[in-house]
Structure 1
Amino acid sequence: MNKRILHIALPNIVSNITIPLLGIVDLALMGHLGKVDFIGAIALGGTIFNFLYWGFAFLRMGTTGITAQAYGARNLSESILSLSRALFVALLGSIFILILQKPIADLSFYVINSEKSVEEIAKSYYYIRVWAAPATIGLYALTGWFIGMQNSKIPMIIAIICNIINIALSSFFVYGMDLDARGVALGTVIAQYCGLFLALFFISHYYQRLFRYWSAKGMMKMKELKHFILINKDIFIRTLCIIFVFTFFTTESASNNKNILAVNSLLLQFLFIFSYFMDGFAFAAEALVGKFIGAKNQNGLKHVIRLLFMWGIGISLAFTLFYATSSNWILSTLTNSEAIILEAQDYIKWIILLPILSFGSFLLDGIFIGATASKYMRKTMMAATLFVFIPCYFFLSNSLQNHGLWIAMLAFMLARGVFQSVYYKKAIAIKLN
């Protein structure tokens, strides 16, 4: 069973690690331009796109769970129909974003109160990168489908190629053409479309046999369509809670001063590195839990969940040690500003605690997605946001300032796992009956 876990997890870890690596490269490109404003601008622009795109992350997660269960039940028709429904929603969503791009920008920069110099750079970044919306959202649906089909190698290949193109083009546009933040945005747009076309090529080349099971009537079948919508509705609400937490975190950072914004933006990369690494095993949980539930294999389900948590404990301890010993080195690769590095040192203790407090929430997310137990994901995420994160911040921020913000973030991550543990048996048992 460990081999099956690693067969799915390792390619996803490789592809996931390229995502924070790309963010790190973007910040490093800006961090070495000699002006703190560029780091803050990328952070603000990234926050807006996190809000927009993470809102569509339900397409990746919902599609994986539904497809994995169809795969386990050997339902080939539902396997291909789940992809077409997801791509249709992705198309509608991206058109919506492109049409409303100016009102979205106006509202975003009104809510995120930052210094004028930072805001102007962030706007130039936003109005270029927004044109990647169809490719970015489409890739959510396609990646979720590949993982549900127990194929994590194709998303890995797409992610690696896409991000190599992105890093190369962004570096060229920034240093070769002096486009600063605009160059980073342009590199992202081109790379995302390369990734989309590559994904579509793989589907047409390796999965063409499934097209015979597709039909417009099947795609619009009310029972399956309602199931798809309800699952994705709950995941959407759950994702909005995460978006709120991270947007609030960045907004509060910006309201302090641009140095705190830069520090917190850099330290968040530590969280993203760990989260994308753990998501490799969460994706394995999605695929294998969905498959075993679809096949009604209770023993296989229990065994894979037990092994996943053993992997999670080991990885979280390794990251705790890594962050405790290598934080200065990581920070120095992100920026050459000694003042920012020195200020960041005050908050490293929270980063060291992060892996061991949060790994359970990542794995349980994967288990719940594979079980399509989206209702419980929504409930637990809302509880962690409303009853833990927000109260922690408002009780601690006045006395502890930025430390209070980081404590609230860690409490939120821990609470997610604790609340999911409460609902765990109920969420899984319902799917096996």
Structure 2
Amino acid sequence: MPVQRAVHAFINERLQAKLDKAKSPQEINDLKLKYHPHEWIADAARRASQIQFATHTVKGIHPDSKGTNINAQLIKITDGLVSSADLNTHALDIVGNAAALDVYKFLSVSVDENSTILDLVLKEDSQLLSVFSESPQQAKQYLAAFKSITQSSMENAKVYELMKQLLWPVNIDAQQQDNYLNIVPLYPTSFVHQVYQNLQEIRFSDEVKLAKDARKNEKGHEVGYTIVPDIAYVKLGGTKPQNISQLNSERGGRNYLLPSLPPTNQPEDTSAWRVKPPVLESSIFDRVFNYFAKKHIKRFCQNVIDESRNNASVREKRQLIIKDILEVLMRYGEQVRGFDGGWSKHGGLKASQAFWLDPKRADIDAEWAELRETSDWKMELAHDFGVWLNHRLNDAYRDNKYIHLADTEQKEWKYDMADLIKQSIREGWGIFE
């Protein structure tokens, strides 16, 4: 019988781990008695009350809290807010005595491809009775004990002095009438775990690693990857995250925090720009573009170079600001490219930049169009961008002998620009065609 095989395999595996460490025949005999399936299940059923499944926990609020954990039956409300109820599935957490977690592992054992022992317990499947005990009455008691792990009640819910408690006024005269609603927030552990898994997938999945390797090697990638800036995490439980909960332990105690701030990286408002063809310039990076990008250069200095640390958060900020600078460059280029073709004939603008900013000239100048087609102007443009950015950043620190960006950084900015050009061509933006 599949159920019996699954149960016995789990218990025997635990028994064998103990036998491998046994030092005497007496100890071996005692272990065999203790891990006889019916004896072990009876003991597990007695210890089942020491743990509980939960979607919302108290120790996530404070590690020494002793209030009531809740396995909530959630109903989705269309109110425009994101909550635990929006999850399609909930990873139920386990709280309680860490010494009783083997009971949880037992209930998590797969019986077949579609069900675990816990699934059968919740269905009160009759297959379990003979496996649990030779006595049908005793077996039903064990089944009820295991099933109780998933149940919680608000009738006798308890709070604790270390838990947060918010007094919400019920009416205008709440203070005089001492009329408040006591709100006790619990830690949404199932929701937190889903957010953690989603962010891990976005940041560190195998597909993301392949995309990052492709970028490093200057190759394309059909999907690409996303940078999520300004992520932090709070670590719960210290060196013993298991003391908080099972899911917290699986995350190594890490619980991601996203910024609760108004967005600062809004698209640049270009409606007020007074853009005209750079006829009098030899390079747009000499003077023109410095004006449009100056606030992002300042951001780069403050948030990246002035930051003493070089951690993942700072590196993500760097990428975000570079992205913003390139966004401004594209918007500038988009406006200049909208002018009538041929204006670049009357000035001394560098050829690679003229090829980019005056594409309509190709319609009226066949010789120029052929030069544009055969020239590697896109990579020259990326090179110019890298040189310009490095110069601007070094110029900002010209009085600081300890800060100097060299060829390595210059190449990095060049590759950022080159990647943007490749992406625009791949996705048909038209800005670098």
The alignment's TM-score, normalised by the length of structure 1, stands at 0.21
Q: Which has the higher contact order (CA 8 A, sep 6+)?
A: 1
Q: Which is strand-richer, 1 or 2?
A: 2
Q: Which is helix-richer, 1 or 2?
A: 1
Q: Larger radius of gyration, structure 1 or 2? A: 2
